[in-house]
Structure 1
Amino acid sequence: MIGPGADASSPTKQVSRVAVVGSGHMGRGIALSLLRAECDVTLLDTAPGRADEAVAWITTELGRQAEKGALSADAAARMNARLNAALEMTEIAEVDLVVEAIVENLDAKRALFAELDRTVHPGALLATNTSTLDVNAIADVTSRGPQVFGLHFFSPAHVQKLVEVIDARDTSAATLATALDVVARMGKTAVVAQVGFGFIGNRVFDAFLLEALDCALEGATPRQIDAALEEFGFKMGPFRVMDLIGLDVLWHIRREAGDGDELGWSLMGDVVARGDLGNKTGSGWYTHGPDRTYVDRPEIDSLLTAARGHVGVAASPMGADEIVARCVGALIAEGQQVVADGIAASAEDVDTVFVLGYGFPAEKGGPLAYGRATGMV
C-alpha cells in the first residue's frame, strides 16, 4: 500500500502540532483521530462558536469512550488537554500540518489553500480531505506543491479504519512518507491513490451506485436491490447507503462532476428536489423511523414509473442473482479500470479500499479477488 512516490526508507517530517480547518462532522472526527496519534490539535472554524461546539462534542465523545472502557480516563484527559479551538487563521501559523475539512467545492478549497499558504509557516504540510476533487488544482494555488497531498477520510472519520492518501503531481517522497506515518499513528490503514475524480473508492463506488439505480429504473425496487446485495454479504445495500450518506451530498458531487444529467443520477436529483435527503430528513429512498427502521415509500414507486415513461423503458422482473451480477460486475469492471489507469497501484489496493471503506464482504476478499475467484475477471 506504499505508493510509487514513497518507500519504507523515505524520510519523514515530525508532525506533533496539527490544525484541522472546518469543525463539522468530518472535521471533528479527523481531530479526534489525530488526538489518538498523540498530536496537539487545533480546530479552526471562522464561524463564531462552531469550533467551541466541536471541542465540546469531542470532549463528550472521549468521556463516552472512557466509560465504555475503550480508553482509560487518564488517556481521555490527556487527549482533551491537547485539543484547542481557534477562530483566526493566525492562531495556526506554527503548526506542522494542516488538514482541510471544509465544503466539497473546488473554488472554496483553492481559496482556503491560498490563504493557508500565505499564513502558515513555510515548512508546514497542507492536506485536503476532499473525497473527489483535483488535488493538483488545489496545490497549484500554493507555493509549496511538494508539501501538499490528500487525506481522504471515510465517515465517521474517528471510527472508519481506512484513509486514502492522495499522491498529487508534485507531492514529494518525504511528504508522502510523512502522510503514511501519520495515518499509521492514528491506527488506520492507508492506501495510496493518484489524482483522478473520486480517486479509488468513490470512482469505483459511483459505478456500483449507478448500476443499482439502473436496476431500479428497469424494474427492481430499492428494497429488492438492497436485499440481494446484503444477502451477497454487503453490510448495507446501495439505497440504504445513499440515504445514510445524504442524497443531497451525493447530488452535489454529481453536479460538481458534470454528469448529473445521466439518467440514474437524474432520478436521485428528483428525490432531492422533493426535499427528501435520506436519514437526516427522515425520508429518501425509504422512510426512516427510530432504531434504524425503514419502510418503502409509495412516492419512490411513482418517481420510478414516471422516469421509465420519460425514457420509454418498461419495468420487468429482476431476480437477486441478476442484481448481484450486474452491481458487483460494475464494481469489478471499474476496479480493473482504476488499476489500468494508474490511479490504484494494484488490485489488492482496490480490494482493501472496498473491504475497509465500503462494506464489501471481507470473506470474499474484495471485488477484484472475488472476480478472479469466480471467473468474472
Structure 2
Amino acid sequence: MKFCALLLFCLHAAALAGRAGDYQDFDQPPHDYWKRAPQDRFSRWMNDVKAGRVQLDYSGEKAFIASVLKSLDIPASSQMLSFSTTSLQLSLISPRTPRALYFNEDVYVGYVVGGKVEVVAVDPELGGIFYIFDIPRNGQPPRPERATRCMNCHAREDTGYVPGLVVKSVIPGPTGGSLESFRQALSGHGVPLNQRFGGWYLTGAGGLTNHLANFYGRSTPQGIVRNPIPPGTMFSYDRYLVAHSDLLPQLLHEHQIGFVNRAIEATYRTRTYLDAGQGKLSPEHAKILDEQAKGLTRYLLFADEVPLPVGGVAGDEEFKTDFLSQRHIGPGGAALKDFELRTRLFQNRCSYMIYSAAFRGLPAEMKQRVFARLAQALDSGKPNPEFAYLPAAEKQKLRGILRETVVGLPSGW
C-alpha cells in the first residue's frame, strides 16, 4: 500500500511537470507577475509599517525578528533550522550558523544571524512574492525589496515553473554545500519520511530514526561518509528565538508547501486556458482542469499522506498551542486543525489550507471544480472507492466543518 501511494503521488507530480509548458511564462500576459501590484500579506504589512500602524523592536537582532513575526501572526515556535546552503545567503549558512525559518499559512520568514531577512508571502493570484532586506541598525523602518534571483529556484521544476515554494533535502558537506540531493521536484505530505530533512536540524523526532537530518557528509573514494551533528552541538540556541527545530512544524511546513505549489500551478494554468479561449474553456482544457481539480481534492483530503512513525509524534507543546489558536471551529467544536499525531497528522482529514490565500486565489472555474469533487468524495450515500480510507463518520464531520467555515461553497453543498 505504501508503494502504491508513493507511485500515485509521483505519477501526479510527473504529470504536472509534463504539462509545464501549457501556460505562458509567469512574467507575460495574462499573468504579468512583475507588473501587477502584489496583494500578499507582507506587502500590506509593509504599508502598515510605513504608516506607523506596526511598531517594531529595534533593540537587537533577536528582538527585531521576534517583533516582525509577532506583527505577522507567525509563531516563533514554528522555528526550523537549516544548515544547507540552499539560500541566497549561502556564504553565511553552515552547520555552525544555521538559517532559521518561521511560517504561518501565508507568510514564510527566513533569518540568518548577522545577515538579511528573507520573506516569501503568498499572493492569492500571483503565487510566491519574494522579499529580502537588511535588519535595520539605526531604528529606521526596514526596506524590503523584491528579490528577482529567487526565481532561479522558486520558479523551476520544483514548483511547476510558477512562483512557488521550495523545500530541499540534501546531504550537505562540512560547510553546508550539497553533496547529494533527494526528492527533486516533489513536495507535500506524500514524500517518504526517509527522503526528508537532509540539511536540516531536527528535534523531537521520537520514533522517527530513518531520516536525513542532523548530519553532514564527507566525500571519500568509498563514497559519502556521514558525520552526525546533534542539534545544538555546533551552535548555540541562545542566538535563536527558541531552543528547538521540532519535527511537527517541519511536517506541517512540508504539507503546506505541497498544497501551495499545487494551488498556484492550478491558478496559472486556469488563467492561461481562459485567456486562450477569451474567457471560455475548450473541451480539452476543461478536461485537463477536471484532472487537476481531482489532484487538488486528493491532496486536500490527505489521500496520499505517508503514515507517521511508530509511536506517533509528540510535537512541541508551545507550537501546538500557537497552531491551534487559529482554528476555524465547526459543529461540536471540531476543526480541521485538530491534531491526531498517532498515525497521521489530523483527526479531520481535510487540509486547513482550504482557508489559505493560495486556495482563495483559485479562479472560480477551478475552485468550483474542487468544491464539486469534495462534495462527491464526502458523500457517504454514494461511497467513492478512491476515498474509502475516510470512515462515514469522518466524512459527515468534514462536511459539517466545511459548511460552517468555508466561504463560497455552492448552495446546497
Identify the TM-score tier after normalising by the shorter chain. Answer: under 0.3
TM-score, normalized by length of structure 1?
Answer: 0.26
Structure with the largest fraction of helix: 1
TM-score, normalized by length of structure 2?
Answer: 0.24
